[in-house]
């Protein structure tokens, strides 16, 4: 599909259909005034993501609450998604700016095109047709003057980040029989080769030498041996160093604490954190950001069998802490415990961010669409909340730590238990568990992102399709972009 910014007025661009965003329910706007009566007759009110197709006029109208990126992005994505499978091969639309000289909305337009037209049809016998071309005109919706060079840069950035999001979606949507730890390592190698990154893969014997016994325990009953992946992007004279740590459960049965059958469906999603790390490395490399990035992934499969790890086992993590296992379905935190230790051993970073589909409790607390952000440094937490909620259009909320909840992780026979002794506050207690594996000098640098809610949803929402969303990719990439403009601000 060709996506092109054209320095022409809309009327001079040939396309099968024109997409018009009705911003702030403005039916008197020059783009909508002519169609006001018929739109109102059709019951179109211009609400956010509301659609009205005037087939005879070859125009598709979509409502948006504002001209801000957070509203334009889902509006355009929803509109384009509605055209998939229809006979329109090309689409044109105006440029949208929230105000003069600000190209954030134009970047969001570009993201919306790729995010909204995404399909995962690898396993379908009959595939729907693709668009041949989507054009963005230099004519601006509000008749603002568009800086052509800035517009092209914004669109290019949007397309690169959205491409990375779609890479993450493809990986997460791939069934577990076709995507296991060995394949995760192969994908990492391919990305490294294509983007000029460094990569190191640890196989089972290497992992044993690193004393990652918690990770190895989770992997014991699987026919697929684990992998630890370290992917590095190293620009010259980096302004900051960031370590990203991803939970890579290529499938999670729950282990001997077996999940109910309906909870086991979609557990291919449990590799979403690791997949986000891979995608972010691709995006950062293509954006050529002056930030050194290290991605650490623990790729394992949690299965059942005679050699499976058990409730009541005591595991010794890489940093020497002992963990009493009370539930084998709380396995992601065991993998991350060792991976966080390994990441801190290998790299002295200014920021450490882990991403994981870690707890159903986070989904209960925040809903399906919102990432839980946890950490000890409010300034760093706020940076991530801004990157998610404002800059990228993802949704995130802060879940504060609580010293009283920390007591619920105490074990009578080991240093810590892998689940708390209360059913409440499960997302926070999981974060507090991970904090036990962060060195004292790094506690102010660390963030934990629980993406269990938005990573995989079984119906379309906003700019996201049914299935994998690529949660975390846009937010963390924007977090890193912001670091590239900061004056050496480290924690």
Residue tagged active-site, from 68, 81, 333, 445: 333
For residue 153, the tally of other CB atoms under 10 A from its CB is 14
| Nearest-angstrom CA–CA distance, 178 and 208 | 26
Helix (H, G, I), strand (E, B) or coil at 313: coil
Task: Tell me if residue 259 is catalytic.
Answer: yes
Helix (H) or strand (E) holding 451: none
Residue tagged active-site, from 119, 220, 259, 443: 259
Q: Are 267 and 240 in contact (CB under 8 A)?
A: no
* Token pair belonging to 286: 């293509």
Burial classification of residue 455, based on how many CB atoms lie within 10 Å of its CB (0-12 exposed, 13-18 middle, 19 or more buried): buried
Q: Are 22 and 33 in contact (CB under 8 A)?
A: no
* Token pair belonging to 435: 């904090």
Phi and psi at residue 13, to the nearest 5°: -105, 125
For 89, half-sphere exposure in the C-beta direction (CA atoms, 13 angstrom radius) is 2
Nearest to 356 by CA among 435, 426, 277: 277
Task: Tell me if residue 119 is catalytic.
Answer: no
Angle made by CA atoms 248, 254, 259, in degrees to the nearest 5: 130
Catalytic residues: 259, 333
């Amino acid at each position: 599909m060709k996506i092109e910014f054209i320095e022409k007025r809309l009327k001079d661009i040939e396309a099968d259909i024109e997409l018009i965003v009705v911003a702030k329910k403005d039916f008197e706007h020059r783009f909508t005034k002519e169609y006001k009566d018929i739109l109102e007759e059709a019951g179109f009110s211009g609400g956010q993501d509301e659609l009205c197709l005037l087939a005879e006029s070859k125009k598709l109208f979509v409502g948006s609450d504002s001209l801000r990126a957070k509203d334009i992005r889902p509006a355009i994505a929803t509109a384009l998604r509605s055209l998939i499978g229809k006979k329109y091969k090309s689409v044109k639309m105006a440029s949208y700016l929230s105000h003069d000289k600000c190209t954030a909305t134009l970047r969001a337009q570009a993201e919306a095109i790729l995010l909204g037209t995404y399909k995962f049809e690898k396993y379908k016998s009959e595939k729907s047709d693709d668009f041949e071309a989507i054009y963005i005109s230099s004519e601006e919706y509000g008749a603002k003057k568009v800086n052509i060079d800035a517009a092209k840069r914004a669109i290019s950035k949007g397309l690169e980040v959205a491409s990375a999001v779609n890479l993450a979606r493809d990986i997460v949507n791939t069934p577990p029989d076709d995507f296991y730890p060995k394949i995760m390592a192969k994908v990492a190698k391919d990305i490294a080769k294509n983007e000029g990154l460094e990569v190191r893969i640890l196989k089972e014997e290497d992992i044993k030498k690193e004393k990652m016994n918690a990770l190895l325990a989770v992997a014991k009953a699987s026919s697929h041996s684990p992998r630890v992946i370290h992917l590095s992007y190293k620009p010259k004279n980096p302004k900051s160093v960031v370590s990203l740590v991803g939970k890579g459960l290529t499938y999670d049965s729950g282990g001997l604490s077996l999940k109910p059958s309906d909870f086991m469906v979609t557990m291919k999603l449990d590799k979403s954190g690791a997949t986000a790390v891979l995608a972010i490395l691709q995006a950062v490399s293509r954006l050529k950001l002056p930030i050194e990035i290290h991605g650490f992934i623990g790729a394992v499969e949690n299965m059942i069998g005679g050699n499976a790890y058990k409730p009541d086992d005591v595991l010794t993590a890489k940093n020497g802490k002992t963990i009493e296992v009370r539930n084998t379905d709380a396995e992601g935190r065991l993998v991350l415990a060792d991976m966080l230790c390994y990441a801190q051993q290998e790299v002295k970073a200014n920021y450490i961010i882990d991403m994981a589909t870690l707890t159903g409790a986070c989904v209960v607390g925040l809903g399906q669409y919102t990432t839980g952000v946890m950490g000890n440094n409010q300034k760093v937490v706020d940076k991530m909340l801004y990157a998610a909620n404002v800059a990228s259009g993802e949704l995130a909320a802060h879940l504060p730590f609580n010293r009283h909840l920390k007591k619920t992780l105490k074990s009578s026979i080991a240093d810590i238990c892998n689940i708390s002794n209360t059913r409440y506050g499960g997302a926070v207690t999981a974060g507090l568990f991970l904090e036990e594996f962060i060195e004292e000098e790094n506690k102010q640098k660390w963030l934990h992102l629980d993406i269990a809610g938005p990573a995989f949803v079984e119906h379309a929402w906003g700019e996201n399709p049914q299935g994998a969303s690529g949660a975390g990719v846009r937010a963390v990439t924007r977090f890193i972009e912001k670091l590239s403009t900061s004056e050496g601000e480290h924690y």
